[in-house]
Amino acid sequence: MSFVLPHEIAHYTQLTSQWMQGEKSCNTSTSTEELRQVLRFHEHRYYVLNDPLIADVEYDMLYKKLQAAEAAHPDWVTATSPTQRVGSSLNQGFETVSHLVPMLSLENSYNAEDLLDWDRKARESSGLSTLEYCIEPKFDGASISVIFEHDQLSRSATRGDGVQGDDITVNSRQIRNMPLTAAFSNFGIDTIEFRGEVLMSKKNFAAYNKKLAEEGIPPLANPRNAAAGSLRMKDPAEVGKRNLEAFFYHVSYTTGKAAAGAPNLFAPAGTQALPTTHQGMLQMLWQCGFRSPVQEVKVVQGIEAVIEHCAWFEAHRDDLPYEIDGLVIKINDLALQEKMGMTTHHPRWAIAYKFKARQATSTLQAVEFQVGRTGAVTPVAKIAPVHIGGVTVSSISIHNEDYIREKQLMIGDRVLVERAGDVIPQIVRSQPEFRNGSEQAIRFPTECPVCNSSLFKEEGEAVWRCVNAECPAQSVERIIHFVSKDAMDIKSFGEQQVRRFYELGLMQDIPGLYQLDFGSIASLDGFGKKSITNLESSIEQSKQQPLHRLIYALGIRHVGETMAKTLARSVKHLMELQHKSVDDLMQLEDIGPKVAGSIVQFFGNAQNIHMLQQLEALGISMQASEISQPVAGNLSGKTFLFTGTLSKFKRSEAETMVEAKGGQILGGVSSKLNYLVVGEDAGSKLEKAKKIPSISILSEDEFLAMMEAE
């Protein structure tokens, strides 16, 4: 059996269900062998394919069943049992290499009883009444073993089956916090083999996923998958992009002149003694430039202190910048470690204390579609509630249509859910292997679930959007944009106020802005007579804003200020845009298919047209004003900026004058600026302009004189 053919996958999935539901048990050596085969199948999914079918806790539960059966019937144990060796992850395409010392797994514990039990055995075998323990994080990444010879990195390998692993030296060179040379010779060491875990910090993981999202690629499920997948990538440059880090926590082998415990008489002067404790080894690695858990480690006497620390640490696990899935408790004395030895599966001198699982299996019951404030429609999976890491999860964003397709999600599917730390929960995968035929496809709506407008998807994008400017799901954000400074510039109407008016039901949409009942506003807290008059007059003034501001204010996707100006120049009246095709629009400067498509969608939406008609009826000017027409005046190529309080003319008038003569208004002082016109109390802009010799500073009178002359 190879584990990869469809009928084999179906076979093992069915067996898994039966074993998990207790329909099968280890009552004979034959059925026990079947359970081993099921575990091997899941190890292959987990270690080799990096794509587990079941949650870790489910795997652990089956593993424990096997352990119990083998403990009760020692004669049933086989040399190839998963309890006797670690899961293999050998991959094609990498050279297989042998570890100098086998690289094992760890025994697991989940509670205080498990730890007490383990401590009792350790004390019995050592003959000591109290043991000294080192407690360190159990890094949740991918294991790595490295060899340095004569202070140079000579090889890196994955754990593989524990005896042999994949040679990943080239990829490991991309791990930036791993030195490639290190002065182990200071400790009298010629050759050293030591182990660690490669991982992606939460920050880098989030940044990496964000980048994927921007490219429309579904996010990676968790940092562990991200790290494990990276080490086995074929392209080292791609590995480099993932910003991996390595933490080293165990020295397995050394050769050289220095003897453990004391400076060797034959070693060169200045050679330091090889440490005799685990903590000392961590310090040595640190001193040689490696990131070892010297800061995180805690050394305690006796198991009670261990239990206490474990409880404390679990409550603080999310404070760390990287993911951990538990703690590892190790006997500190290396001589004692040596004496206790190991099984074929794990060392006897260490045990993992596993934190509460952050993965669970659930059922996808339904999908709801939510409309965001920018009109993007996001599918949200409703799952049968599951407890993960202390919270109940019942809703999970499933991003977009492509994601649903890629994850092959269907309603009724069993799904593997993960909530890693403060990361929002995700569906790691569906489990189509468990389908029974009653599952249903997820239908993406063609209309907005809030306002029923037809949805629109841009070419090359995965997101469907509602482009109705009056869609209630988007109203507030659209009004905020509409009134903002660069749009209709309705002064004294800030974001807070828009939200407040909206929540109080004083306005529902953009036309509502021009129908405000100032009588009821007067009765609101914080509104004096003066502020109401101001608001009223700036709303009134906005009706005459130039067309390009109105176009920009509509919040058409991809239409920024410059684009709005181009559009304003192309028409005499805004409504002409309603009749322009993608091809017409693409004749205009800088308008490509994406922008054109977005404009056509906007003006093709009946609600939007209705809104524009309302606005026109309310007196908002939709005529192209003079300044919007193409100009080639005497000031063409010249740039201006106004600052300070102007007394001879209004800033907007002056700007209009400049633009009418072909000049351009800039947003700030830079070397691109030709003229800074200053009124009274000019501040930082003037100071800055004085430092740039190419800028001419004009008074209001000088500016007026220039306008007349030109």
Ligand X SMILES: NC(=O)c1ccc[n+]([C@@H]2O[C@H](COP(=O)([O-])OP(=O)(O)OC[C@H]3O[C@@H](n4cnc5c(N)ncnc54)[C@H](O)[C@@H]3O)[C@@H](O)[C@H]2O)c1
- Residues in the annotated binding site: 56-60, 105-106, 136, 159, 197, 330, 354, 448, 451, 471
- The verdict on 609 binding Zn ion (CB under 5 A) reads no
Report the relative pairing of strands 639-643 and 664-665 from DSSP bridges.
Answer: parallel
- Binding span for ligand X by CB under 6 A among 40-48, 262-270, 284-292, 624-632: 40-48
Burial class of residue 125 in the structure, from the number of CB atoms within 10 Å of its CB (0-12 exposed, 13-18 middle, 19+ buried): middle
Shortest Å, Cβ 293 to ligand X: 7
Within 10 Å of residue 498's Cβ, how many Cβ atoms?
Answer: 24
Q: What residues does 416 pair with on adjacent strands?
A: 361, 429
Site for ligand X in 227-286 (CB under 6 A): 249-250
Site for ligand X in 67-106 (CB under 6 A): 86-87, 105-106
Shortest Å, Cβ 58 to ligand X: 7
Q: Which is nearer to ligand X, 86 or 189 (CB)?
A: 86
Contact string (CB under 6 A) for ligand X, positions 279-318, x = contact: ----------------------------------------
- The verdict on 407 binding ligand X (CB under 6 A) reads no
Q: Which is nearer to Zn ion, 167 or 401 (CB)?
A: 401
Among 51, 198, 206, 208, residue whose Cα is nearest residue 139: 198
Structure tokens at 484: 């903002």
Active site (catalytic) residues = 138
- The verdict on 56 binding ligand X (CB under 6 A) reads yes
Cβ 180 vs Cβ 160: under 8 Å? no
Q: Which is nearer to ligand X, 136 or 659 (CB)?
A: 136
Among 192, 203, 232, 3, residue whose Cα is nearest residue 96: 232
Shortest Å, Cβ 421 to ligand X: 16
Cβ 344 vs Cβ 85: under 8 Å? yes
Q: Give the binding-site size for ligand X (rule: CB under 6 A).
A: 25
The values of phi and psi at residue 657, to 5°, are -60, -50
Query: Helix, strand or coil for residue 590?
Result: coil
Among 46, 45, 49, 24, residue whose Cα is nearest residue 35: 24
- The verdict on 466 binding Zn ion (CB under 5 A) reads yes
Distance CA 441, CA 411 (A): 6
Site for ligand X in 168-227 (CB under 6 A): 197
Name which of Zn ion, ligand X, none residue 466 binds, using a CB cut-off of 5 to 8 Å depending on partner kind.
Zn ion
- Binding span for Zn ion by CB under 5 A among 198-206, 215-223, 465-473, 676-684: 465-473
Residue showing tokens 């001589």:
335
Cβ 54 vs Cβ 42: under 8 Å? yes
What is the amino acid identity at position 190?
D
- Which position among 168, 364, 442, 471 is part of the footprint of Zn ion (CB under 5 A)? 471
Residue 92's Cβ-side half-sphere holds a number of Cα atoms within 13 Å equal to 1
Structure tokens at 112: 């205080």
- Which position among 13, 43, 118, 612 is part of the footprint of ligand X (CB under 6 A)? 43
- The verdict on 501 binding ligand X (CB under 6 A) reads no
Distance CA 671, CA 651 (A): 22
- Which position among 35, 157, 310, 451 is part of the footprint of Zn ion (CB under 5 A)? 451
Give the residue numbers of the binding site for NAD(+). Answer: 56-60, 105-106, 136, 159, 197, 330, 354
- 583: Cβ–Cβ under 8 A, 6 or more apart, which residues? 596
Cβ 470 vs Cβ 510: under 8 Å? yes
- Which position among 45, 232, 414, 548 is part of the footprint of ligand X (CB under 6 A)? 45
Q: Which is nearer to ligand X, 413 or 700 (CB)?
A: 413
Structure tokens at 467: 């482009």
Q: Which is nearer to Zn ion, 482 or 640 (CB)?
A: 482
Distance CA 664, CA 637 (A): 7
- The verdict on 448 binding Zn ion (CB under 5 A) reads yes
Q: What residues does 697 pair with on adjacent strands?
A: 676
Name which of ligand X, Zn ion, none residue 355 binds, using a CB cut-off of 5 to 8 Å depending on partner kind.
none
Q: Which is nearer to Zn ion, 104 or 466 (CB)?
A: 466
- The verdict on 132 binding ligand X (CB under 6 A) reads no
Residue showing tokens 């440059």:
237
Which positions touch ligand X (CB under 6 A)?
42-43, 45-46, 52, 54-56, 59-60, 86-87, 105-106, 108, 136, 138-139, 143, 159, 197, 249-250, 328, 352
Which positions touch Zn ion (CB under 5 A)?
448, 450-451, 453, 466, 468, 471
